Amino acid sequence: MPPPRDNQPININQITKYIKFNKSAIKFNVNEHPDFLQPFVIPQRTEDPNAALLNTSGNQMGTSKNILRYAEGEIVELPVSLGKFIDLNCFFTFGVKSDNTFIYSIIYANDPGFRLLDGPDIERFLTDFKMNLLDAVSNTTEKVVSKTKVLKDINGDNYNTKEVILFMSQFLNKNIILLDLNENKLTNYKEFNHDITSIVILYSGNHYFPIANLMGEDIENNSCQLMIKHYQ
């Protein structure tokens, strides 16, 4: 009888990964035919790597890299590499509505109550948020960088421009940090403010993803500073 293995701790992202793997169909490779074996000369890759990231039909586990597989309405496994900055037992990400993953990610990370909404309530919440943004831009006594452009972009549902992100940071009173996992690049459009809380949004493939806490707590600024130091 082989010796018992030591119990190894696992985190919520690993649990999610195993559940998805166990639900997937297992494929067996039998009766191989030489005409279909991989040749020694590997053909040049022709597929779009960003499109490949969105394919969720595979059933291979593998080691998590800086790739998020988008699935609307589902918890998505965070990259193992983020474990250097946050506790993967406490934080997760989520496949928000696909029509505008950036603004939905901002709202999801900012307001824990938003996670409880479903169907038309999600769209109504966004409509109210948009109206509040427009009202704030028009009536604030504080300086708004490129005010005309901010109004135009918000009216056009274009929320991921530098000008709108700067205003949303002002409106929400939070640092907004963008971490591009495709390029391993971090963007923070203004100097990090240690006196306010932070939102971290991931970009992978063609979608944005929020970093959210299971208990609805904010990500610690120390974690954000470590990310900034590592990626910038």
What mean pLDDT do residues 172-189 have?
96
Is residue 5 predicted with pLDDT exceeding 60?
no
The pair of structure tokens assigned to 100 is 């505008």
Q: Could you identify the residue written with the tokens 């928000």?
A: 96
- List, for residues 25-71, the tens digit of each pLDDT value: 545 455 555 555 555 555 554 444 444 444 444 434 333 455 788 99
- List, for residues 125-154, the tens digit of each pLDDT value: 999 999 999 999 999 999 999 999 999 999
Half-sphere exposure of 197 (CA within 13 A, CB side): 11
From residue 122, give the alpha-carbon distance in Å to each of 115, 125, 140: 9, 5, 26
Please give the share of the chain, as a percent, with pLDDT higher than 90: 69
Whole-number Å distance between alpha carbons of 115 and 60: 29
Domain boundaries, given as residue ranges, for the chain: 48-231
Is residue 107 predicted with pLDDT exceeding 90?
yes
Better-predicted residue by pLDDT, 43 or 112? 112
The pair of structure tokens assigned to 15 is 């649990």
In total, the chain counts a number of residues equal to 232
What residues contact 178, with CB distance under 8 A and at least 6 apart? Answer: 165, 186, 187, 188, 201, 203
For domain 48-231, give the CATH number. 3.90.70
What is the rounded average pLDDT for all residues in the chain? 83
From residue 143, give the alpha-carbon distance in Å to each of 160, 180, 232: 20, 29, 28
Residue 33: the pLDDT is 56
What residues contact 196, with CB distance under 8 A and at least 6 apart? Answer: 173, 174, 175
What mean pLDDT do residues 67-83 have?
91
Is residue 84 predicted with pLDDT exceeding 70?
yes
Residue 67: the pLDDT is 79
pLDDT band at 111 (very low <50, low <70, confident <90, very high): very high
